[in-house]
Structure 1
């Protein structure tokens, strides 16, 4: 029996509770979720599975040297069709073109809406 192909979200957040919450929201939207706590780990996932990703959600501040903004730039450069959501509790100087910024604290319903939008777009 074949399983329907699921959309996949990459969640990059160094705060474990936040990462779990975001992952749960994407799972509610019937997506598979890959979790990373650093941009470096997420870059490896992008290399291996970038074409299979529907959406990437990343915090600006992450474990490791690379920021979420730099990760978003990398993702959009390699995979222009991926939906990228950047979040932060502080303001951000710049975000890459064709990405969405969601300031913290965001409401779970807002993120669920964005997940649904990404799913229907792909």
Structure 2
């Protein structure tokens, strides 16, 4: 039986950044879906909450920004791991739930890999295959 890859939703309103980030996450073994706003991502999640990872930018057009989206996902779908990224702002200690990761843009493949592995260790701390 072949295992299906974990599913990630990447949210960014900048098409090139969205594509680049999606490629980095796909390279780490995720099946990647994309959304160009937090509103679009939330509507998707209300229909399909079987994701394992949400990777979102902060500043986006629409009713919600990435911080709002991260809070709603943490509250409504706590099984989804959340990573927030921004090049324009740095969330304060009370802006994000405690188990949400923040990374500053510009991001690199190495940084994405490191944060994803951190989240995997948090979820599966006894996994001997991730002992780098």
TM-score range (shorter-chain normalised) is 0.7 to 0.9
Question: Structure 2-normalised TM-score?
Answer: 0.82
What is the SS of the residue equivalent to 1:53? coil
Question: Does structure 2 retain, via aligned residues, the 8 Å contact 1:62–1:68?
Answer: yes
Could you tell me how far 1:114 is from its partner in structure 2?
2.3
Partners of 1:39 and 1:66 in 2: CA distance: 6
Gaps of 5+ in 2: 125-132
Distance 1:49 1:64 in 2: 21
Residue 113 of structure 2: aligned partner:
112
In the alignment, the residues of structure 2 paired with residue 100 and residue 65 of structure 1 have an alpha-carbon distance, to the nearest angstrom, of: 22
Relative contact order, CA 8 A, sep 6+: which one is greater?
A: 1
Contact 1:55 1:118 in 2 (8 A): no
Structure 1: segments with no counterpart, 5+ residues: none
Counterpart in the other structure of 2:46: 47
Structure whose residues are more often strand by fraction: 1
TM-score, normalised by the number of residues in structure 1:
0.88
Aligned residues: 120
Q: Displacement of 1:96 after TM fit?
A: 2.3
